[in-house]
Structure 1
Amino acid sequence: MRPPLLEWQVFRGSAAVAAGLLSVHQLRGRGWTRLRHDVYCDSRLAADHALLCRATLARLPPESVVLAGPSAAHAHGVLSAAGPDDLVHLILRADRRVGRQVGTRLHRVPLDPTDLCHVDLPGGSSLVLATVPARTAWDAAVWLPLADAVALTDGLLFRRLVTTAALREVAARLAERPGGRRAGHTLGLADGHAASRAESLLRVRLFLAGLPMGVARPPIFTVAPCLAWPEFRVALFRTPDRAGEAVMIDDGWLVLRLAPQTEFPEVVRHLRAALSGRGWRNTRKQDVVESALSSTMR
């Protein structure tokens, strides 16, 4: 039997033993899972990134840090932003001091009051501090590789947790901070119609390969290809939709289908040929594009 006070909870093992709720021997039983040093939880809780965040916060003074970047995105509902083995991203509040924590990445950057909100996490009844979705996307754009940052922002937009207007506002407000220029470019690549992380990553990888940026799932007729280039009437499908493809072909579109086993260079080659055949000419200097969006951009 689990003590009622510890059911579905994350807790400090030493505190539970001191309160007489469990013995040291009982802590090693199958009813509990060790998450961090001296941090345990009810073993029925799902072992995801949110639980890892709760366990990390259990070792820190209350409201001394703020969940940020991919950890905040996961807390807001973009579950693909961080997994159970990923680092927990935290921003240290200006007037607080904490020791180094294993499995975390601690950032020391300014936060405005408008950047903060409270979110709910499994394993406890108290709400925890996190960055609001717009600031979450901005931090991710500074800290993460380009494709990962865009995928995270796409997820926030797709779930209507943030608007493009809010992204423009935060990019303008923080433009002069370190990484601000890069973040502005990154957030400008986001597309709220991308339905999955895989679609977002494909769109950005194709762009970095020198192709024009595709539009995610445009509502063309009643068909939704995963990517399209309406200016050139070229569409890319990841899953077969023979009826939809036929409608687009009859209207003069060039339709390509991405088979699961297709290697990325082959996708680029076919798309480049299709777009070039429809009048696209590459005017970008790829080395300039990549350097402009690199982690050193300020």
Structure 2
Amino acid sequence: MPKALRRPPQLRGRIFRGSIAISRGLLTRNDLRSSAWRPLFRDVYADARVRVTHRIRCAAVGRWLIPPGAAIAGRSAAAFYGCTKPAPSDPVDVLVPSGTRIGPATGLRIHHGEVDPGDTLHKAGLRVTSPARTCWDLARWLDVVEAVVVIDTMLSSRLTDVSALREYALSRAGRRGWRSLLRAVDLADAGAESPQESRTRVRLVLAGLPRPQTQWVVADQGRFVARLDLAWPELKVAVEYDGLWHNNPEQLHRDRRRLNQLLGGEWLVLHVTAKRLRDDFDGFLAEVRAALRARSRSGQ
């Protein structure tokens, strides 16, 4: 019979340092190599029955792997605020104060920079960058589209607001990234309801189209008709993103038929999917541009 896996009750359902478990006589090095335990980082293990999330990995990093003054940052901080959903295996972003030494570690993405008073706070026992600092770092570390995707969610979650972010950027004028944050904030919109809606909107605006309204409500004599993801109401042109919830072809058909029936010929509604955004954005952009141009010429 195979040897029973050794699972000390003190470690069940826990994240722990392997070296500490060994020093206390709870496990041996051979025990740690068994399927009972899952390595997360060097010398950090989890009970294999624990569902490891990115947030749990962040907690392990904050507790055992980073020096005092460092903080969980970037997308990882946004995940702690509930604004992103990184995969469990994604590297954990860490902000380390300038001049503080920290060696490379597999599974960490280490950034050095100045950390001002108020740039970090404690959340669930973990040092995390503040919402404003998180947005600044996102604007510095990501391309503008992906930065705005996360900033949109932070705005819609009311973790911060446009005025606060602008003030934060301007107070750091001359430092690396302050203009990037201002640009991202100018493109951000708290009305976005999904990352793909944000990506669609920002890419259209960066391509030179007028900025659309988000979640535009169409009403007829005070009666609700529809709510549109992106809209140019003065031209009655809209864009609807068909997301993953449309994995049922019948549901997709019903949704589109509803929009067509409710809006009729008055509104022109263009649909876009993730595949279209990925593989044929230029073609989709041309369609939106043509629709806006045609409605402008018709005096809509």
Per the shorter chain, which TM-score range? 0.7 to 0.9
Q: 1:111 to 1:24 in 2, by over 3 A?
A: same
Measured against aligned partners, the alpha-carbon deviations of 1:86-134 in whole angstroms (never above 9, x if no partner) come to 33221113574322222322222222222211123xxxxxx11111112
Identify which range, 42-51 or 197-206, moves more after superposition.
42-51
Question: What residue number does 1:132 align with?
Answer: 130
Which structure 2 segments of 5+ residues have no match?
Answer: 1-5, 243-254
Question: What residue number does 2:250 align with?
Answer: none
3-state secondary structure, aligned to 1:219: strand
Task: Return the letter of the residue paired with 1:129.
Answer: R
Query: Which of 45, 60, 75 is residue 40 of structure 1 equivalent to?
Result: 45
Matched, 1:99 2:103: yes
1:278 deviates by 2.0
1:246 deviates by 3.5
> Any residues of structure 2 matched to 1:52-91 within 5 Å, and which?
52-61=57-66, 63-80=68-85, 82-91=86-95
More strand by share: 2
Question: What residue number does 1:220 align with?
Answer: 218
Q: 1:185 to 1:93 in 2, by over 3 A?
A: same
Matched, 1:159 2:181: no
3-state secondary structure, aligned to 1:107: strand
Partners of 1:141 and 1:187 within 8 A in 2 = no
Identify which range, 144-153 or 53-62, moves more after superposition.
53-62
Whole-angstrom CA distance in 2 between matches of 1:99 and 1:31: 29
Task: Return the letter of the residue paired with 1:264.
Answer: F
Whole-angstrom CA distance in 1 between matches of 2:210 and 2:28: 62
3-state secondary structure, aligned to 2:290: helix
Larger Rg: 2
Which structure 1 segments of 5+ residues have no match?
Answer: 121-126, 281-298
Question: What residue number does 1:231 align with?
Answer: 234
Partners of 2:217 and 2:227 within 8 A in 1 = yes
- Between the aligned residues of both structures, percent identity stands at 38
> Any residues of structure 2 matched to 1:260-279 within 5 Å, and which?
262=276, 263-279=280-296
Partners of 1:193 and 1:218 within 8 A in 2 = no
Whole-angstrom CA distance in 1 between matches of 2:227 and 2:10: 49
Identify which range, 134-143 or 159-168, moves more after superposition.
159-168
Measured against aligned partners, the alpha-carbon deviations of 1:197-218 in whole angstroms (never above 9, x if no partner) come to 1111122222233322333322
CA root-mean-square deviation? 2.4
Task: Return the letter of the residue paired with 2:236.
Answer: R
Whole-angstrom CA distance in 1 between matches of 2:240 and 2:26: 56
Task: Return the letter of the residue paired with 2:142.
Answer: L
> TM-score of the superposition, structure 2-length normalised?
0.81
Task: Return the letter of the residue paired with 2:150.
Answer: L
Question: What residue number does 2:187 align with?
Answer: 189
Whole-angstrom CA distance in 2 between matches of 1:166 and 1:9: 39
Partners of 2:216 and 2:230 within 8 A in 1 = yes
3-state secondary structure, aligned to 1:238: strand
Question: What residue number does 1:174 align with?
Answer: 172
> TM-score of the superposition, structure 1-length normalised?
0.82
1:149 deviates by 0.2
Matched, 1:257 2:274: no
Partners of 1:60 and 1:98 within 8 A in 2 = no
Whole-angstrom CA distance in 1 between matches of 2:274 and 2:91: 30
Partners of 2:13 and 2:47 within 8 A in 1 = yes
Matched, 1:198 2:196: yes
Task: Return the letter of the residue paired with 1:145.
Answer: D
1:79 deviates by 2.7
- How many pairs align? 272
